[in-house]
Amino acid sequence: ENVLTQSPATLSLSPGERATLSCRASQSVSSYLAWYQQKPGQAPRLLIYDASNRATGIPARFSGSGSGTDFTLTISSLEPEDFAVYYCQQCTNWPITFGQGTRLEIK
């Protein structure tokens, strides 16, 4: 099983600041890494696929990078609606696995 480890567990920032979230895989996933945003009471929303491609309708302030085992989600300038939990997911191998999540909270 490919274990995904996200860091930090919690990130406290203010609106307008830059957020950098990390996801590390125990085995290479090439570029088949996705990021989701989840708000309370809602299903996860796909943000990034193939490590760096924004899903339909996702604002340009969200960007992804990385390949192999190390990946980063960057939010260039935080908006109030960006405070949520973020998950990474690998799409390379069965079983499909998710990271444990990073909670982005308002400072």
Partner 1 sequence: QLQLQESGPGLVKPSETLSLTCTVSGGSISSSNCYWGWIRQPPGKGLEWIGSIHSSGPTYYNPSLKSRVTIFVDTSKNQFSLRLSSVTAADTTVYYCARHTSYRPFDYWGQGTLVTVSS
- Rule CB under 8 A: which residues touch partner 1? 1, 32, 34, 36, 42-46, 49, 55, 87, 89, 91-92, 94-101
Q: Which two tokens stand for residue 18?
A: 């830059």
CB atoms closer than 10 angstroms to residue 45: 14
The beta strands (E) that lie in the chain are given as 4-7, 10-13, 19-25, 33-38, 45-49, 53-54, 62-67, 70-75, 85-90, 97-98, 102-106
CB of 60 to partner 1, least distance (A): 19
* Cβ closest to partner 1, residue 15 vs residue 96: 96
- Smallest gap from Cβ 24 to partner 1, in A, equals 16
In the bound complex, what is the minimum distance in angstroms from residue 72's beta carbon to partner 1?
Answer: 17
Query: Minimum distance from CB of 71 to partner 1 (Å)?
Result: 13
Residue type, 102: T
| Residue nearer to partner 1 on the CB measure, 45 or 61 | 45
- Residue placing its CB nearer to partner 1 in the complex, 72 or 100: 100
Burial class (CB in 10 A: 0-12, 13-18, 19+), 93: middle
